[in-house]
Structure 1
Amino acid sequence: MSAEEFKAQGNKYFAAKDFTSAIEYFTKAIEASETPNHVLYSNRSASYASLKNFGKALEDAEECVKVNGTWAKGYNRVGAAQYGLGNFEDAKASYTKALELDSSNAMAKEGLKAIEDIVNARSSQPDGGLGAMFSDPNLISKLKSNPKTAEMMKDPELVAKVLNMQQNPSANPTQLLSDQRMMTIMATLMGIDLDMPDMPKPASAPNSTPAPASSEASKETPKEAPKPASTPAPKPAAPTPKEEEDPEDVVMEEASSKDEADAFKAEGNTLYKQRKFDEAIAQYEKAWETHKDITYLNNRAAAEYEKGDYDAAIKTCETAIEEGREVRADYKIIAKSFARLGNSYLKKNDLASAAKYFDKSLTEHRTPDVLNKLRATQKEMKVQEALSYIDPEKAEEARLEGKEHFTKGDWPAAVKAYGEMIKRAPEDARGYSNRAAALAKLMSFPDAVRDCNSAIEKDPKFIRAYIRKANAQLAMREYSQVMETLTVAREKDSELGGKSVSEIDQLYNKAVSQRFQAIEGETSEQTMERVSRDPEIVQILQDPVMQGILGQARENPAALQDHMRNPEVSKKINMLIAAGVIRTR
């Protein structure tokens, strides 16, 4: 292979961020080149800088300017490597030299601006600005999640250095110069990307979202670099073989577009707050076209959502997620894309899709708001599923089927059929009452009571449900509850004409009789002793009003009949009679 072919391979690997392979092929190109080629040394220097090997990057950059001392970009390479090594004064001199050769060199201007910002930040604070830079309480977690620093933060020794710098920044400035990784961390905190030898300026707006490093360089081949209009051509006298193939040209253009994109975003935010959604969408689209940061797409989707164009919002969010995965965007930003997808589908009443994307959002980043939306959506899905199942005709078919099974004594089949009736007609009290009757036959009395309670809730005047409930309670020997249920049943029945009063009274007397009757093998004295300990009997006898009535009855038995006209008193006296406390002749 020729030097040009090796160089093309190196450019390809650089664009794919495989910097080790890029170095290998640029080295082969240098070896195969008949005469020293300054661009090859420049490209290999950029590759070493991307691997944070600034020592090697400086060696190649110096070789580059040695081969061609009139090429401004070569001094940009030297300045970038010196910056990475923490030699800011030397870096300043190199960038100044680049401007002497090319006064319009944007990369050199950006590099000088970055150095000036660092020097100013240091001089304005006693600790050189390190205290503020390392003051974030979430610093460690942010560095671990940042693609630029995530790998190096796996080293416990480095984590300890960062923590030490947080605690006492003014006492540890030498750590920045002794460990290149600390320099990378500092540059990351300032918004400076050391992967780019031609230094961009620090992050500008505090509310802006940092663009992923070299996000577009991985998509474009070196031949798609900016036109000469955007990157000043070298002086005619300088040998500049195929300068446009320098892989860092694309990266620098991307960095310089961030501020312009943020300006479009800010304008979009203003229009959004004014509810001028179409105009806001246009600004967010300009921001996205200027710089590929999916925050702009999320904002555009928000405007489309508020406008009511949910299909457009869905399409935009899908694009944001796809693009975000490609550039390894922050998982929190992708989580917002998924959440907005869920909200859009929720507006379209596509609950299944909404729940799906809320869940995906929580997988990326768990927040209480999205979790509550997921739960509410899942709950609504169950409600709608139940409502879609309602069918009065099929409910009647299930009721008749249950009746047939009940008549044949097939209680399990009857329970199943009545259960289907309840699903088809959840507001029909008969389904619950009929299933309670079948459950009682299966001796599942607690379940029968619950079904009767549901039937009564649906129809408080459904007397049959009260009677079935009382029978189930009687089977469980819950005598007090039986009497309470039948007392309510009697009141409801009297409102309906008293058609079931006889059945209610018979069941009531049966309950009373069973409650106080002698147990097999029990003497009459033991029975009376047990009855006297009954909580309800004790409560009646301790009631001052009842004590007065009973005392008056002992002196004048006929007076008891007058008191029996009071329903409450009558109930208590009948209870005492049933218990044998009061004996009638």
Structure 2
Amino acid sequence: MSDINQLKEKGNAALTAGRNDEAIEAYSEAIQLDGSNHVLYSNRSAAYLKAGKLELSLKDAEKTIELNASWPKGYSRKGAVLFAMQKYDESFTAYNKGLEHEPTNQALLQGQQQVKEALINLLLSQQNMDIDPPESPKQKPKEPSPPPAKKQQPAEDENLPENKKLAKSEKEEGNAAYKKKDFDTALIHYNKAIEHDPTDITFYSNIAAVYFEQKEYRKCIVECEKGIDIGRENRADYKLIAKAFTRIGNSYRKLGEFKSAKTYFEKSLSEHRTPEVKTLLSDVEALIREEERKAFIDPSKAEEEKEKGNELFKKGDFSNAIKHYTEAINRNPDDPKLYSNRAACYTKLAAFDLGLKDCDMCTKLDEKFIKGWIRKGKILQGMQQPSKALATYQKALEIDPTNSEALDGYRTCTMAVHSNPEEVRKKAMNDPEVQSILKDPAMRLILEQMQSDPKAVQEHLRNPEVASKIQKLLESGIIQIH
């Protein structure tokens, strides 16, 4: 086991120093010794990614998930390599899967946001300029569905009517100015192109692109609407119509008018479905939900609902009290007292899991909210988990060492743990998380070191992942530190 850890540390040091091949070699040797260690595959995936060996990196990320499907970092690794491969939809899905296991994981949330931004930038770069759009059916009546011709041959240009030749020349002048960010000049040429050929949606689209770059979003919307009307009249390619709708949606989003943005993204998808626009639609729907949530918040109404809940609680009508506390939470979701009150109702109804969830929300909102810790301790006592309850009361006493409820709970749990420690351990062994920790070869080695050298505990506690596992074992009564 020490050989595995040494190889892992060697790989970590090499990876940090940018010696990717050396890191890969070290991790590979460690994997040969322990092929079931998901952390080793995760680390080698990172090394392969840095070395630009994307397929191998992806393979290791998938192996990491296979070995430990609940470990968020495996999904983070997979999302990162798929992002590097520019497989943005798959990358987004990988990050999303990870968030199902740990919704607050910052690495996953940041990765997901990075994918969203990449998709939006990709879409904007694709739609901002329609430099050489497909010719419309009206221009070639004998070919109702012509393929896009990105670069027309000179011979084809010569067959165009004179007005279309002039329009194309003006458009190209406009494109050149646009690329130089000389937007005023670009507008002059695009407008001249329309004078020569007012039937081409592309020219209106390019004017709209200029206005979008200039942050003139209302003008952008007007030009897009003109282009859509012209495009429909002249049977333009549905993809060009879809792009115009998308640009309107993006303009409304920039203006903060999210419901209008949603409408136009949906219109775009009805013309032509693309993953990029689906992502834009999902994103703006999330913004709408957040707006609606914020609009619903009203602390004074929350207080009214809380008082109604309190009255029902005093009468013993806990089910209806929960309804009022829930409404109060919806009205003011940042008040820990509301979750505490609802947790008390759940406890009375023996819905301990729901009560614990509310207690955890209390202490997440305010770590110093002692009632949340005390209530959690009582629930854990009711669930016959004295070791966990003991650790919870300890948290309460760190806030107020003189609190009588916390002191009584702490004493009771201490007696329960010490009077029958074997029974406590036996119950703890039924916990899947405890079983997983004890099966981990690295953790077994650490526990052995702790027995032979108590000072080793402090060293291991510096590693957040190890510290979390040790804390779990302490709470479960599996180990004790004196």
Aligned to 1:399: 306
Instruction: Map Cα deviations across residues 25-65 of structure 1 (whole Å, 9 max, x no partner).
Output: xxxxxxxxxxxxxxxxxxxxxxxxxxxxxxxxxxxxxxxxx
* Counterpart pick for 1:211 among 135, 138, 156: 135
Q: What is the aligned partner in structure 2 of residue 258 from structure 1?
A: 164
The offset of 1:263, in angstroms, is 1.2
Q: Which amino acid in structure 2 is aligned with residue 505 of structure 1?
A: Y
SS of 1:435's partner is helix
Question: Which secondary structure does the structure 1 equivalent of 2:310 belong to?
Answer: helix
Q: Where does residue 410 of structure 2 map in the other structure?
A: 505
Alignment TM-score, normalising by the size of structure 2? 0.55
d(CA) in 1 for partners of 2:316 and 2:343? 14
**1:275 partner letter:** K
Tell me how far apart the structure 2 counterparts of residues 293 and 254 of structure 1 sit (CA, whole Å). 14
User: 2:330 aligns to what?
Assistant: 423
Q: Which residue pairs with 2:190 in the alignment?
A: 284
1:455-474 alpha-carbon deviations (Å, 9 max, x no partner): 10001011111121122223
| 1:532, distance to aligned residue in structure 2 (A) | 7.4
TM-score by length of 1: 0.46
Answer yes or no: is the 8 Å Cα contact 1:331–1:365 preserved in 2.
yes
* 1:322 aligned residue: 229
Structure 1 pair 257/393, CA: closer, same or farther in 2 (3 Å)? same
The yes-or-no answer on 1:357 pairing with 2:264 is: yes
The residue aligned with 1:493 is 400
CA distance in 2, matches of 1:317, 1:545: 69
1: distance between equivalents of 2:274 and 2:384? 51
- Taking a change above 3 Å as real, the CA distance of residues 288 and 510 of structure 1, as seen in their structure-2 partners, is farther
Other structure's SS at 2:400 match: helix
Instruction: Label 1:312 to 1:545 Cα distance change in 2 as closer, same or farther (>3 A).
Output: closer
Q: Is the Cα contact below 8 Å between 2:326 and 2:342 reproduced in 1?
A: yes
Counterpart in the other structure of 1:463 = 370
Distance 2:328 2:180 in 1: 54
Which structure shows the higher helix fraction?
2
Q: Which residue of 1 aligns with 2:206?
A: 299
Q: Which amino acid aligns with 2:410?
A: D
Structure 2 counterpart of 1:407, one-letter code: K
Match in the other structure for 1:481: 388
Change (3 A) 1:498 1:470: closer
Report the more deviating stretch, 267-276 or 414-423.
267-276
In 1, the alpha carbon distance for the partners of 2:175 and 2:255 equals 25
Q: Does 1:443 align with 2:350?
A: yes
- Residues 483-513 of structure 1 deviation map (CA, whole Å, 9 limit, x = unaligned): 332232222333xx54544333255257548
Q: Deviations over 1:173-230 (max 9, x none)?
A: xxxxxxxxxxxxxxxxxxxxxxxxxxxxxxxxx952243233699xxxxxxxxxxxxx
> Does 1:372 find its partner at 2:279?
yes
Q: Residues 408 and 498 from structure 1, CA distance in 2 versus in 1: closer, same or farther, beyond 3 angstroms?
A: closer
1:410-448 Cα deviation digits (max 9, x unpaired):
212211211122122221111111111112222221111
Gaps in structure 1 of 5+ consecutive residues: 1-205, 218-251, 518-527, 550-567, 580-585
The one-letter amino acid of 1:256's match is E
Looking at structure 2, the residues matched to 340 and 477 of structure 1 have their Cα atoms a distance apart, in angstroms, of 59
Is 1:333 the counterpart of 2:240 in the alignment? Answer: yes
Q: Superposed, which structure 2 residues align to 1:129-140 within 5 Å?
A: none
**Residue by residue, what CA displacement relative to the aligned partner does 1:85-142 show, whole Å, maximum 9, x if unpaired?**
xxxxxxxxxxxxxxxxxxxxxxxxxxxxxxxxxxxxxxxxxxxxxxxxxxxxxxxxxx
- Structure ranking higher on relative contact order (CA contacts 8 Å, 6+ apart): 1
With over 3 angstroms needed to count, the CA separation of the structure-2 counterparts of 1:469 and 1:510, relative to structure 1, is farther
Amino acid in structure 1 at the alignment position of 2:228: I
For residues 132 and 449 of structure 2, the distance between their equivalents in structure 1, rounded to whole angstroms, comes to 79
Number of the residue aligned with 2:112: none
Task: Pick one of 239, 259, 275 that aligns with 2:181.
Answer: 275
1:253 Cα offset (Å): 11
Query: RMSD between aligned alpha carbons?
Result: 3.8
